[in-house]
């Protein structure tokens, strides 16, 4: 990319441009706090459950007011890829850690 300085008439004066650049330099956005990860105890089965039909991981999903473990293959691709597995969270918790 080629940049030609002062190639066209300015939209704003140089003085106004410099003032705006100084003002932009003063206002800094606050640093974003790193995302807090939930402890493993919250989801002890994460990355440990797999679909019996296609082998993809089961992921925790909240639908219809309930938590379920569903096939990520069906969610990512389609029901043609995998008919899917859906296990209620209560059943998974009853297995123990």
- Structure pTM? 0.52
Estimate to the nearest angstrom the gap between the alpha carbon of 47 and the chain centroid. Answer: 17
Alpha helices per DSSP H over 1-97: 14-26, 72-76, 89-94
Residue 89: the pLDDT is 86
Q: Can you tell me the distance from the alpha carbon of 70 to that of 50, in angstroms, rounded to the nearest whole number?
A: 9
For residue 73, what pLDDT is reported?
84
| pLDDT given at position 19 | 87
pLDDT of residue 33: 66
Residue 26 has a pLDDT of: 60
pLDDT at 97: 62
- pLDDT of 34 reads 63
β-pair partners for 68: 61, 88
Residue 21, CA distances (Å) to 12, 15, 25, 89 in order: 12, 10, 6, 54
Which of 37, 81, 87 is closest to 58 using CA atoms?
A: 87
Block means of pLDDT (10 residues each) for the chain, length 97 residues? 74 86 70 60 77 88 84 80 86 81
Coil, strand or helix at 90: helix
């Amino acid at each position: 990319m080629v940049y030609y300085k002062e190639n066209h008439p300015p939209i704003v004066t140089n003085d106004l441009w410099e003032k705006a650049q100084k003002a932009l330099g003063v206002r800094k956005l606050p640093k974003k706090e790193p995302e807090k990860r939930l402890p493993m105890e919250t989801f002890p089965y994460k990355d440990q459950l797999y679909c019996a039909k296609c082998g993809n991981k089961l992921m925790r999903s909240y639908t219809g007011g309930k938590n379920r473990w569903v096939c990520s293959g069906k969610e990512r691709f389609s029901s043609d890829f995998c008919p899917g597995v859906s296990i209620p969270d209560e059943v998974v918790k009853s297995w123990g850690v």
